[in-house]
Amino acid sequence: MQLQLCVLLLGCVGLSQLSIVFAGAGAHSGSWRGRCSGWLMPNLNQSRELVLITGGAGFIGSHLADELLAAGYRVRVLDHLDKQVHPEGTLPKYLDPAVEFVAGDILDIEALKRALEGVDFVYHFAAKVGVGQSMYRIREYTEVNALGTAVLLEALLENPVKKLIVASSMSVYGEGSYVDGTGQSAFPKQRRENHFTQHNSWDFRGEGSETLKPEPTAESKPCLPASMYAQGKYDQERMCLIFGEAYDIPTVAMRFFNVYGPRQALSNPYTGVLAIFASRLMNGRAPLIFEDGEQRRDFVHVKDVACACRLALETEAARNCVVNVGSGEQRSIRQIAEAIIAAMGRKGEIEPEITGRFRAGDVRHCYADTTLARHLLEYRPRVNFHDGLVELVGWLEGQIAIDRVEDAQRELTTRGLAK
Ligand SMILES: NC(=O)c1ccc[n+]([C@@H]2O[C@H](COP(=O)([O-])OP(=O)(O)OC[C@H]3O[C@@H](n4cnc5c(N)ncnc54)[C@H](O)[C@@H]3O)[C@@H](O)[C@H]2O)c1
């Protein structure tokens, strides 16, 4: 029996209303669809289609490569091994030797053309990743994230593919969704540095001065990017979706929430809260927390993200749309700090440091409504947070973490971006 469902997706600013019709299990590609690597036997009947992952030597891209290889695809990666992510400047050991590596910059059209030869599907993950840093390295972030996407799209004109999937981010929403005291939806704007002194709270207040209650954020929430990084991710997803519509290439923008897991760069102080906290702890220092630590986020394991990305490729009805990828659970940053301290065996020895500081571009609460991913992709996050932490801690043993958090704080403070 075929289940047919219409999801009316009210997209972000400028995104047209999309009517998505999708079919239930069994109507899609293969019988193994819906399961993730570690759960499925490699499908030897796959046609060995070739997938290009830009930025595939990084954290999420390398896990996606594993997921795709396990499902029987051939994988090629284009990456220029950004020093902030790969301090040694060499190919990371975790990258599966079966991956074909093309060294090249996303801004180099010739490298892209070479990388696109014979490719069936593209995942566009190459990006500069860091909210705070994007607020002063504005040109570099805009070049790599927005212009880099433009170069990729021009290269795709000569090498059209069957599907394009772009890594977007929860950051495109700015603040998440809220409801006021009367139960009405509220979409507050970005807070300013004097928010706390004005309201005696880090939270938002409604018209009756009640505290607005955060809710899971769905794809229909209007986008209000609050940092150059977020604006760049929004540019990327819009550019890819416009291109896909115009050239009839099915395109999906995946809005990842806070992704965590092994292989996240430990020496990049601008991204990956859990990796930053772990790096501090490995150096015997306390995790530093902005505001009061009660900000709420959705932490999703990288293997679940990789699975969602593969499902987006294999689900025919996933086209010309944006999809949230989270765990569907929410936690405060303080809880996250306490959990990693405990998992690393430092409880009672190191406490998180709540700084009460505000950082430009940070949002108060934003966590995922994963309804669309569940229905459209049959996505089911499988990694329980505490199991994910145990795995992360296992990986941390044997890693070297250079703690650059204080350098990053100085950069932000001297520019008035952290108060
Ligand atoms: N990690 C998260 O929590 C998260 C959340 C939301 C969205 N995202 C998005 O997911 C994607 C992957 O993120 P990640 O966490 O794996 O980041 P990452 O920094 O680990 O990986 C990015 C990769 O892109 C490469 N790269 C950077 N600039 C490049 C250039 N000019 N040319 C070619 N390659 C270049 C880097 O060398 C790196 O290997 C990014 O687009 C990011 O914006 C990540």
Residue range 382-388: average pLDDT?
Answer: 96
Atom of ligand 1 nearest to the CA of 82: 37
The DSSP annotation for 8-32 comes to: EE--STTPPPEEEEEE-TTSSS-TT
- Give yes or no for residue 60 CB within 6 A of ligand 1: yes
* Domain layout of the chain by residue ranges: 1-176+217-257+299-330+367-383, 179-214, 269-297+331-363+384-419
| DSSP assigned state of 366 | E
- Give yes or no for residue 298 CB within 6 A of ligand 1: no
Cα four-point dihedral sign 394, 399, 400, 404: negative
Measured distance CA(156)–CA(153) in Å, rounded: 5
Least confident of 74-78, 148-152, 193-197: 193-197
Structure tokens belonging to residue 157: 């004109």
| DSSP assigned state of 287 | P
CA 163 to chain centre: 19
In CATH, the number for domain 1-176+217-257+299-330+367-383 is 3.40.50.720
Of 107, 125, 217, 301, which is best to mutate to test ligand 1, by the most ligand atoms within 8 angstroms of its C-beta? 125
Atom of ligand 1 nearest to the CA of 105: 32
| C-alpha of residue 373 to centroid of ligand 1, in Å | 22
Angle CA 63–306–102, to nearest 5: 50
- Give yes or no for residue 57 CB within 6 A of ligand 1: yes
Q: Whose CA is nearest to atom 1 of ligand 1?
A: 259
3-state class (DSSP) for residue 83: coil
Structure tokens belonging to residue 338: 């306490």
Q: Whose CA is nearest to atom 38 of ligand 1?
A: 58
| C-alpha of residue 363 to centroid of ligand 1, in Å | 21
Least confident of 92-96, 133-137, 291-295, 402-406: 402-406
Task: Say what the pTM is.
Answer: 0.90
Helix residue ranges, H only, 316-404: 333-343, 371-377, 385-396
Measured distance CA(305)–CA(64) in Å, rounded: 8
Evaluate if residue 27 carries a pLDDT over 80: no
pLDDT in tens, 208-256: 788 999 999 999 999 999 999 999 999 999 999 999 999 999 999 999 9
Atom of ligand 1 nearest to the CA of 148: 31
Q: Whose CA is nearest to atom 11 of ligand 1?
A: 125
Atom of ligand 1 nearest to the CA of 166: 41
Structure tokens belonging to residue 325: 């990828």
CATH (one of 3.30.70.260, 3.40.980.10, 3.40.50.450, 3.90.25.10) for 269-297+331-363+384-419: 3.90.25.10
pLDDT in tens, 102-137: 999 999 999 999 999 999 999 999 999 998 899 999
47 pLDDT tier (thresholds 50, 70, 90): low
- Give yes or no for residue 106 CB within 6 A of ligand 1: yes
